[in-house]
Amino acid sequence: MKFIKNNILTNGSRLLIARLDLSILDHLYDIRLRPEELEKYRNISHNKRRCEFLSIRKAIQFVFDEEEYITYSNNGKPSLAISGHRISISHSKGLLGIIIHPTLEVGIDLQHESPKIFKIKNRFMSPEELTPETDQEWPLLAYWCAKEALYKYYSKGHVEFNKNLFVAPFSLQESGMMHGEVRMPDMHKKLPLHYEILEETMIVYTLEQNSND
C-alpha cells in the first residue's frame, strides 16, 4: 500500500490518502482480520471491493497495532473499537481516504471527476447554492463532497442534502477552506472543511477544532 498523504492536521486529526492496489489481494494473510471480518471478506465477490476492504484495514493497522479494528454504530457510523478514535472513510477511482481523530467526530469524502454530477445536482444543492458560478463540474463536486463529509460527521441519517446541509460561497482553487453547516432538529452547527483536488479527485474533510484550542 502506497500512501500519498500521512499527515497530522491542525486539529490533531490524522489524514491518510492511499492508492488502491489489487495486489493487496495476494497478501490477505499479512493483514490481521477478525473471524467476522474474514467471513465478510469472503462474501465479497468483486475484487475491487475486496481491495477496498483490505486496504482500509491495512491502513488502520499501519497507524495502530494489529489488534485495532472497526466497529459500527446502529446508524452505520464507524469508529475504532479499542482506542475509541473517530474515523471516516471514503474511496473513489483508485484512491482511499481516511481521517481519524481521538475525540472529535470527523467526515471525509472523495469523488473522482465525473460529468454525472450534473444529473443529481438538484438533489444536493439548495436553490441559493446553485448559481452560474457553482453550476460547473468542479464546484459541484466540491459541494457534493462537502455535504457527504457533513453527512458522515452528523451520522444519524434522515438528512436531505439540499435542505439540511449547506456550504457558504467560496472561490474554488486547487485547495482551500470551505465552511459548512448542519441544520437538523438535534444539531445546528457550523464546521470548517478543507478541500483539495488530487489526481482528478475532489477531496473534502471536516477540520473542526478542539473547543480548548
CA dist., res. 43 & res. 197, Å (int): 34
**Mean pLDDT score across all residues of the chain:** 95
pLDDT tens, 83-127?
A: 999 999 999 999 999 999 999 999 999 999 999 999 999 999 999
Domains of the chain: 2-101 (3.90.470.20), 108-206 (no CATH)
Q: What is the predicted pLDDT for the residue at 65? A: 79
pLDDT at 68 over 60: yes
Look at residue 171 in the predicted model and tell me its pLDDT: 95
- Model confidence pLDDT, tens digit, residues 21-54: 999 999 999 999 999 999 999 999 999 999 999 9
State residue 5's pLDDT score. 96
Grid coordinates of 91: 474511496
Strand order in the sheet with 78-80: 2-8, 14-19, 95-101, 86-92, 78-80, 70-72
Confidence of residue 210 (pLDDT cuts 50, 70, 90): confident
The C-alpha atoms of residue 172 and residue 142 are separated, in whole angstroms, by 8
CA angle 78, 98, 62 (to 5 degrees): 100
Question: Residues near 147 by Cβ (< 8 Å), separated by ≥ 6?
Answer: 124, 161, 165, 167, 180
Residue 153's pLDDT band (cuts 50, 70, 90): very high
Kindly indicate the confidence band of residue 212, based on its pLDDT and cuts at 50, 70 and 90.
Answer: low
pLDDT at residue 209 tops 60: yes
Report the SS3 class of residue 37: helix
Give percent above pLDDT 70 in the chain: 99
Lowest mean pLDDT among 62-76, 80-94, 172-186: 62-76
Please tell me the predicted confidence (pLDDT) of residue 213. 56
Give the pLDDT mean for 124-141.
96
The pLDDT score that the predictor gives to residue 66 is: 77
